[in-house]
Chain A
C-alpha cells in the first residue's frame, strides 16, 4: 500500500512540475527574415509570458549548436537580459534556443522553438574585386592630391 502511495506521490510531483514548467512559454521575437546572414552577426531577442512579479528574478539561458538536435550545445548566455548580440559566427548553419530559469537551477520554461541562422559570407571573388577597386580608387585620390599639391606649390613659388 505504501509503495502505491509513494508511486502516486512521485507521479503527482512530476505531473504538477511538468504542468508548471509548460504553462509558461518562451519564444524568439523580431527574428531576422533574411535567409542567409552575410555579416556573421545577429541580434537575438526573446520574450516570455511569465508574470511580471516573477519576471524580476528570471534568468535566461541561451544555447547554440550546429545541429538541430542540440546534441553538443554550448551555452552562450546566462543572465537577466531579454536579448543579446552575437558576432563572429563562422560560416555554416547555427541553431539557437532559449529557456527561462530561476537562480540558475530551477527551470521555469521548456526550451523555446529553436531558430536556424545560416551564415554565408560574401564570395572571395566579390571581396577581392571590391578590395582591389577600393585600393585603386584610394591610391588615385592620394596621387591627385599629392602630385597636385606638389605641382601647385611649384607654380605658386614661381609666381611669387
Chain B
C-alpha cells in the first residue's frame, strides 16, 4: 500500500482501503465512493474491478472509467449466517447494484436493509469494514438513498 492510497482521519488510527486499486483516487472516510473501473473502446462494455482485456469482446486497451456513487438495486438478499473469516456480522444484506450504464457491482448494506427493494436507489459510500491490529480498513458499502427517485 503506498502513501497516496492512505487517508488520514484526524484523531484516529490510520485508515487504509481494503483494496486501494478499487478506488479512483484516495477514498475519503464517510464520503461517496468513486470506483475505478474499465471501459472497452471497442464494444463500450464496462467492468469493475479493472481488467486488461474485455470479457465480452476480448479487445484490449481498455480505458479507465470512474463509476458510482449512485445506483439502483437489481436484487438483494439478507444473510443470516456468519461466514467464517468475514468481518460482516449477520444480519446484513448483499446487494447487486446497477451503476448507470453498468456494470453491476456487489456489496453489502449493513443498516436500513429493511427498506431495500428491487429498483430502489442506493448510494455507494466509503465506510470502515475491518479493524485489524490497530488498523482501520475501509471499503465501499451501499446505503439506501433518502429519496428513492435519486436513481440514475
Task: Tell whether A and B belong to one assembly.
Answer: no
A-side interface residues toward B, CB under 8 Å?
none
